[in-house]
A and B are shown apart, each in its own frame.
Chain A
Amino acid sequence: MSATLEVRNLRTHFFTRAGVVKAVDDVSFSVERGQVLGLVGESGSGKSVTGFSIIGLIDPPGRLTGGSILYQGEDLAKLSERDMRHLRGNRIAMIFQDPMMTLNPVLRIDTQMTEAVHAHVKTTNADARARARDALGMVGIPSPEERLNAYPHQFSGGMRQRVAIAIALLHNPDLLIADEPTTALDVTIQAQILAEVQKLTTDHGTALIWITHDLSVIAGLADRIAVMYAGRVVETGEATDVLDHPVHPYTHGLIGSVPSRNKRGERLRQIPGMTPSLLSLPPGCAFRTRCTHATSVCEQEPPTSEPSPGHTARCFHPIEGNAP
């Protein structure tokens, strides 16, 4: 089965005055039709930049400096801006961390949504409006007909996020990138959004990349997981392999710090220290300043190991056994 998306050795670097920020550095993964990839990592690890790279929204001083992004066999990195614009919002959609990246604050919701419909299908205004209304209903906005007349500022943050999600779902995209879209939402609303995107993957075969720092959401949603740290994928595999038998010390640390993995009321296991600045990464394994398993060899570039088929990690001292 061919993948909807195959990212190979992607590098996206920002050439800032302070130095080169290697936000995405040799990242590879693939997502198949109808499958969900969970892209996990802490703030600043390069998750959003990976998403922006795929949909062609990297602006100077940023640049794709290597690798390929194969969407249904075609390299998006080589596509003209015109062809890319045709795919974006239609076959490939992204839900941004900040809904106001999708929404225009001075336009009514109906204007924005019908424009988004007309951008990719020839249809009547009435039909565009009906599609917009149905999409709002789908993400749990009550009285969608009336709310089409509202402006973004008349919605709460959670409702704005749902409008942005509705716009991303308008054309049943083949590839959907969702960047932490439910982090700020309540569990009840979150469940509703998860139910909608899940339906899209099963009914329409959409390939979904769900970006988050929350392993608990990913556990119930993802088929595969890729864990990012400092611009690299440090571990990837089937969700069950990564969550039940993580081998990279960083993945171990992440799972171990989830409250439900700790004895109630006791101190949580925690990863010491903070995310390093991408401008001053230590040579070798970027995690080594925080890693309890680090030895002097970790000052070299860590090798990739494959503890089970399709499950890989970049580490000198992969951990065996079960998750913490």
Chain B
Amino acid sequence: MSESIIELRGISKRFGPSYDAAARMARDIGSRFGRTPKNETVRAVDNVDLIVTRGEVVGLVGESGCGKSTLGRMVAGIMPPSDGEILFKGRDIASLPPDAAKDAKLKVQMIFQDPYASLNPRLRVADIVGEAPRIHGMIPAGQFDTYLDEQLRRAGLDPAFKRRYPHQFSGGQRQRIGIARALAVQPEFLVCDEAVAALDVSIQAQILNLFMDLRRDLNLTYLFISHDLGVVEHLSDRVLIMYLGRIVESAPSEEIFGRPNHPYTQALLSEVPRIEARKRRFTAIKGEIPSPIAPPSGCHFHPRCPSAMPRCASEAPTLKEVAPGHKSACHLNDAIM
């Protein structure tokens, strides 16, 4: 097994009732329906274990609100977990001395969905990209411009643009600015949260190619969050499927797409729009994604699962190996064995 870059041990994130508007809104809507949950805590991420090894691309897939971004933010060190440990190259970040913890955090950078909202509109590209490495003393004296130009070029941007502001760029170029900013602190690990979701197919292909080139040239490791299964399939070595805060299936990419085990994964894959399809009938997974405030008991998926058994409503299945490197959390696997 190669070197582990990031390891999550029993990571959870709970959002309390008074945290922010989103949570309050969810509660208001909940009480409108006459369900006033006693425990208003949102379990955005629930006891997740994960090891990502150097050079690997791990895809993270799941419905809106299932906790993907929250997990990504914890991995990127911009949100503390409520429980559990995050190890960077085998060392618990929380227990490192401040300087070492800061270094470790710089090594993990995040790239966001909305290239515009994540860039300060009042800063020039030079400052957006150059600020962090300058603050952290990563640029040798007198070499700011050389350093900056190299970061921009690496992200596929013409350094001639560095005096411009974000609004003077197209969506694809803005995403490149975000990538240049992340690369400027010489990270080893990138968390990409829906990084190509806002882009047209043709620009999306350019950015995905950039990610693949960077992986090869800089030996980068990725956590790649996306609701686009076609993109995830293309890029990932391994795929994690998340449902209401829990990882329900984890396997090498070919396994997940070739032999999905979990009923939720199977339902998800059957709905992927494919360019090879011709005039087909569309159907949908029955039922809405349930509220993370009051998730269903037992297996969270049981109200929507076509194979649910009595046991599924009371007992939460754990992740078990169903084939080498392929784990799934479903009681059906016990029944077979």
Q: State the A residues within 8 Å of B (CB).
A: 42-43, 140-143, 146-147, 149-150, 153-154, 156, 158, 184-192, 194-195, 198, 213-217, 219-223, 239-240, 243, 253-255, 257-262, 264-271, 274-275
- Enumerate B138-190 residues with CB–CB distance to A below 8 Å: 170-173
Contacts of B33 in A (CB 8 A): 143, 146
A275 CA / B28 CA spacing, docked (Å): 44
Contacts of B64 in A (CB 8 A): 156, 158, 185-186, 189
Question: Could you give 9 example pairs across A and B, Cβ below 8 Å?
Answer: A150-B32, A184-B197, A187-B268, A216-B277, A257-B202, A265-B234, A266-B212, A268-B208, A275-B170
B227 touches A186 (CB 8 A): yes
Q: Pick from B203, B284, B288 the residue with the most CB of A within 10 Å.
A: B284
Does B267 reach chain A (CB closer than 8 Å)?
A: yes
A271 touches B202 (CB 8 A): yes
**A to B contact number (C-beta, < 8 Å):** 151
- Extra contacts, 8 of them, besides A184-B197, A216-B275 (Cβ < 8 A), are A42-B200, A43-B171, A216-B273, A257-B205, A258-B230, A259-B231, A266-B212, A270-B206
A187 CA / B241 CA spacing, docked (Å): 14
Which of A184, A258, A275 contacts B201, CB < 8 Å?
A: A258
Contacts of B284 in A (CB 8 A): 140, 188-189, 191-192, 195
B32 touches A240 (CB 8 A): no
Looking at the assembled complex, report how far the CB atom of B299 sits from the nearest CB atom of chain A, in whole angstroms: 17
B171 touches A154 (CB 8 A): no
Does B65 reach chain A (CB closer than 8 Å)?
A: yes
Contacts of A255 in B (CB 8 A): 275
A43 CA / B34 CA spacing, docked (Å): 43
| A154-B29, A190-B273 known; A215-B282 Cβ under 8 A | no
Which of A149, A216, A254, A274 contacts B274, CB < 8 Å?
A: A216
Q: State the B residues within 8 Å of A (CB).
A: 25, 28-29, 32-34, 63-65, 170-173, 197, 200-206, 208-209, 212-213, 227, 229-231, 233-235, 253, 267-268, 271-285, 287-289
Contacts of A259 in B (CB 8 A): 205, 208, 230-231, 233-235
| A198-B281, A220-B273 known; A270-B65 Cβ under 8 A | no
A239 touches B279 (CB 8 A): yes
| A188-B284, A264-B253, A271-B202 known; A150-B279 Cβ under 8 A | no
Which of A150, A185, A260, A266 contacts B233, CB < 8 Å?
A: A260
A200 CA / B228 CA spacing, docked (Å): 26
Looking at the assembled complex, report how far the CB atom of B228 sits from the nearest CB atom of chain A, in whole angstroms: 8
| A143-B33, A259-B234 known; A223-B205 Cβ under 8 A | no
A264 CA / B272 CA spacing, docked (Å): 17
Contacts of A258 in B (CB 8 A): 201, 230, 275
| A259-B234, A268-B208 known; A191-B283 Cβ under 8 A | yes
A215 touches B275 (CB 8 A): yes
Which of B29, B172, B212 contacts A267, CB < 8 Å?
A: B212
A310 CA / B287 CA spacing, docked (Å): 41
A258 CA / B234 CA spacing, docked (Å): 10
Least CB separation from A198: chain B residue: B282
| A219-B276, A261-B275 known; A195-B171 Cβ under 8 A | no
